[in-house]
Chains A and B, each alone.
Chain A
Amino acid sequence: MNKKAVNEMKLSFPSYSENERFSRIAVSGFLTQLDPQIDELSEIKTAVSEGVTNCIVHAYRDTVGEISLQVRIFDKGRVYIKIRDKGCGIDDVEKAMEPLFTTAPEEERAGLGFAVMESFMDKIKVRSQKGKGTTVVMEKTLKTRKALR
């Protein structure tokens, strides 16, 4: 399982909401080398947008902090995405991942971010520590038409 990535990129940026768009477009730009299908790319962009927005809205609620985003491409079109913050952390990850659960209903949050990530990606893993931050790792294997290298 510990295979070497065929290609990878890392980004880090402050938790400004302007960077929501930037981050999903950066990921989609990086993945064009796999010649993905439009709907696969839309799904990944949406999942990235959910993860990054959660850092901005929840992790760094009243502050600005660093968000790091890592994308790795493995062979056979397997894509690995890691989104990490050093924000407030999540009390109960299992509960947070339940559809419609939100701690910010008054801000018109639907509580569907994790549900979207789960349904649009093949795998998702969330690690969080109260006061230390949260890491979301997602994977998806693209029905790529182009074998990379």
Chain B
Amino acid sequence: MDVKIFPESEERKLTAVIYGDIDHHTAKFIRGEIDAAIREHNPCILVLDFRFVTFMDSSGIGLVMGRYKIIHELGGEVLTANPPPYIRRVMQLAGLHRLSRIISCPTPEEIPRGGSDIESSDTIAAEKQLTQENK
């Protein structure tokens, strides 16, 4: 399990890419890493990227809810990005989309060097589907 942090200071956006299993045991560490980055960068938008999450139980819901509280108090927004289908089911069961919009977006590491902002049609299609589900 690991967390990688990608700050984008111009937009006051912070992306945390989470790797591996999220359970009660690992949540402590993940929370610590993200909260340290929040204190350092003071973001308006926090993106929690679940693309590489291999397992998640309700501890992951607690993790998102906890970050929501912190960021909401700072007047910002938390986005939940790229959850694999099974993890999306846990999130929907919890009604998490009411606190944090579920989006589909490129994961920072994947952006090719010299970065283009053009989204693939795949991403756009997935985004459309999510917009439906978020309603």
A-to-B contact residues, CB < 8 Å: 17-18, 20-21, 24, 38-39, 42-43, 45-46, 49-50, 53, 56-57, 107-110, 112-113, 115-116, 119
Contacts and interface: CB of A to CB of B under 8 A. Distances in A.
**A-B complex: 5 closest residue pairs judged by Cβ atoms:** A17-B25, A108-B62, A112-B58, A108-B66, A110-B61
Contacts of B85: 39
Given A110-B94, A119-B93, A21 B23 contact: yes
9 contacts: A17-B23, A24-B55, A42-B55, A53-B23, A53-B24, A57-B24, A108-B31, A112-B58, A113-B57
Interface in B56-76: 56-59, 61-63, 65-66
B: interface residue count bin: 20 to 34
Contact of A110 (B21, B25, B31, B58): B58
Contacts of B90: 46, 116
A46 B90 CA distance: 9
A112 B55 contact: no
Contacts of B31: 108
Interface string B104-125: 0000000000000000000000
Contacts of A18: 25
B35 to A, nearest CB: 11
Contacts of B86: 38-39, 42-43
Given A21-B25, A50-B57, A115 B62 contact: no
B62 A49 contact: no
Interface of B: 21, 23-25, 27, 31, 55-59, 61-63, 65-66, 85-86, 90, 93-94
Given A39-B86, A119-B93, A110 B62 contact: yes
Given A17-B24, A53-B57, 16 more contacts: A38-B86, A42-B86, A46-B55, A46-B56, A50-B58, A57-B24, A107-B62, A110-B61, A110-B62, A110-B65, A113-B58, A115-B93, A116-B58, A116-B90, A116-B93, A119-B93
A42 B27 CA distance: 19
Contacts of A45: 55
A18 B56 CA distance: 15
A49 B65 contact: no
A49 B86 CA distance: 15
A57 B57 CA distance: 14
B55 A109 contact: no
A118 B59 CA distance: 16
A19 to B, nearest CB: 8
A20 B21 CA distance: 11
B96 to A, nearest CB: 9
